[in-house]
Amino acid sequence: MTITIRAAREDDLFAITAIYEDAVLHGTSSYELTAPDLAEMTARFATLTAGGYPYLVAEIDGDIAGYAYAGAFRARPAYRFIVEDSVYVSPRHKGKGVGRALMEALIAEAARLGFRQIVAVIGDGHTDSASVKLHAKLGFKDAGKLAGTGYKHGRWLDTAFMQLALNEGADAPPDPASLPERRFRGEI
């Protein structure tokens, strides 16, 4: 079995929409309660890629096994060096290393673009969550928890924050050639 990671294309969005729909309807990692349709997922994809953010898919034998993207953590400009990751794997392909392969590629791409922190905001985040374990394996550190901040499937959920520094994190000044700085100056 080979996992191929590549940039997502618009024709992957049907599969991506189905993967996310399963997570929204049956899981607690996303706090959306109604699954977005193909048009909405296409609009979100267009916004992310127009902003230069990485959006990746994993393929196994031609099947879209999962996807991951990095987007703005919050819109206010002092946050511009931070990205928040999202990663979702098809129920058919969980536990095969797809999430890890996607995240390794996403971290590399976020670093290449010049971001300084990548953060995970993990719905229903607790020590046994698959997502918490995945992020911890990749070097993310616990950055706190907002207790009882989600309510889904009849339960109150804690939201876990984790973060990984990129490109020396806060130990170096901003890089003028980085994507966030070029975008801030209006060059892109």
Ligand X SMILES: CC(C)(COP(=O)(O)OP(=O)(O)OC[C@H]1O[C@@H](n2cnc3c(N)ncnc32)[C@H](O)[C@@H]1OP(=O)(O)O)[C@@H](O)C(=O)NCCC(=O)NCCS
Stretch that binds ligand X, among 1-9, 90-98, 148-156, 174-182 (CB under 6 A): 90-98
Stretch that binds ligand X, among 6-14, 41-49, 89-97, 110-118 (CB under 6 A): 89-97
**Residue 138 Cβ, how far from ligand X at the closest point, in Å?**
8
Judged by CB under 6 A, does residue 27 bind ligand X?
yes
For residue 72, which of 60, 81, 83, 61 has the smallest C-alpha distance?
83
**Residue 15 Cβ, how far from ligand X at the closest point, in Å?**
14
Judged by CB under 6 A, does residue 5 bind ligand X?
no
Judged by CB under 6 A, does residue 23 bind ligand X?
yes
Judged by CB under 6 A, does residue 99 bind ligand X?
yes
Site string for ligand X, 152-181 (x = CB under 6 A): ------------------------------
Tell me how far apart the alpha carbons of residues 59 and 42 are, in angstroms, rounded to a whole number: 19
Closer residue to ligand X (CB): 59 or 181: 59
Residue whose tokens read 């020396």:
168
**Residue 47 Cβ, how far from ligand X at the closest point, in Å?**
19
Taking a C-beta distance cutoff of 8 angstroms, is the pair 162, 135 a contact? yes
Interface residue with ligand X, options 44, 100, 145, 183 (CB under 6 A): 100
Tell me how far apart the alpha carbons of residues 111 and 115 are, in angstroms, rounded to a whole number: 6
Tell me how far apart the alpha carbons of residues 3 and 113 are, in angstroms, rounded to a whole number: 24
To 5 degrees, how large is the angle CA 25–CA 28–CA 33?
Answer: 45
Rounded to an integer, what is the distance from CA 133 to the centroid of its chain?
Answer: 15
Interface residue with ligand X, options 3, 5, 119, 122 (CB under 6 A): 122
Judged by CB under 6 A, does residue 96 bind ligand X?
yes
For 150, list phi and psi in degrees, rounded to 5: -125, 155
Structure tokens at 153: 């499937």
